[in-house]
């Protein structure tokens, strides 16, 4: 545990404050993901919930555990465990949403990030590539809502938490000079805000019941 940079520099400083904030938001994101999963099960529908996005999110998050250990980052390591909750969402989307074979191949194919993050030495570049792909799949989630003109079974909690936590993760990345995170979180913040706008635009108009 002593190797983690947060514990080595623990005290009243910006690193510690952002570290504690990321822990709070990791728990909040976990709760939000659980609520998203419950909404899918309750409605027995994955309408407007993008399978590819949650596949890339889930497998990439698990890969972040390994990436975080390599960076001696306790915050990243802990955050990566959110991927296991995302995997539960993937399973229930397979149960309750019609998903094409192409979507299944593209989505589940993202599991390749796990062996890559273990064996490929250029982990920063790999982290940037998969983080950028997640950004593209998040854009696909936004487009799916606009295409359906309904927010469907998308739950807002994850969106709200992701917007707020993205700010702290960006500060955290700048402090530790983790350049892939700086790029990914800047892009992610923009996309999560767009998703938030899209959710409420079509939630109010066509999907008023939770």
Q: Write out the DSSP string of 100-142.
A: -HHHHHHHHGGGGHHHHHHH-S-HHHHHHHHHHHHHHHHHHHH
- pLDDT number for residue 204: 54
C-alpha separations of 159 from 19, 69, 191 in Å: 21, 27, 10
- As given in the structure block, the two tokens for residue 189 are 């913040």
How far apart CA 80 and CA 59 sit, in angstroms, is: 9
- 210 residues of the chain, pLDDT tens digit each: 678 999 999 999 999 999 999 999 999 999 999 999 999 999 999 998 999 999 999 999 999 999 999 999 999 999 999 999 999 999 999 999 999 999 999 999 999 999 999 999 999 999 999 888 888 889 989 999 999 999 888 888 889 988 998 999 999 999 999 999 999 999 999 999 999 999 999 885 544 444
CA–CA gap between residue 77 and residue 14 (Å, rounded): 19
pTM of the entire predicted model: 0.85
């Amino acid at each position: 545990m002593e190797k983690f940079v947060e514990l080595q520099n623990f005290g009243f400083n910006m690193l510690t404050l952002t570290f504690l904030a990321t822990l709070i938001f990791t728990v909040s994101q976990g709760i939000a993901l659980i609520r998203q999963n419950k909404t899918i099960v309750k409605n027995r529908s994955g309408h407007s919930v993008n399978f590819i996005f949650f596949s890339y999110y889930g497998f990439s998050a698990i890969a972040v555990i390994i990436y975080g250990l390599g960076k001696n980052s306790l915050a990243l390591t802990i955050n990566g465990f959110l991927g296991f909750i995302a995997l539960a969402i993937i399973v229930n989307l397979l149960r309750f949403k019609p998903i094409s074979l192409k979507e299944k191949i593209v989505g589940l194919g993202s599991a390749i990030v796990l062996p890559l993050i273990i064996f490929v030495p250029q982990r920063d570049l790999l982290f940037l590539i998969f983080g950028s792909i997640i950004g593209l799949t998040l854009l696909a989630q936004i487009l799916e809502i606009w295409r359906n003109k309904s927010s469907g079974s998308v739950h807002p909690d994850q969106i709200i938490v992701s917007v707020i936590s993205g700010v702290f993760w960006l500060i955290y990345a700048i402090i530790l000079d983790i350049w892939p995170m700086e790029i990914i979180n800047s892009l992610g913040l923009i996309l999560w805000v767009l998703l938030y706008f899209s959710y409420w635009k079509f939630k109010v108009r066509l999907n008023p019941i939770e």
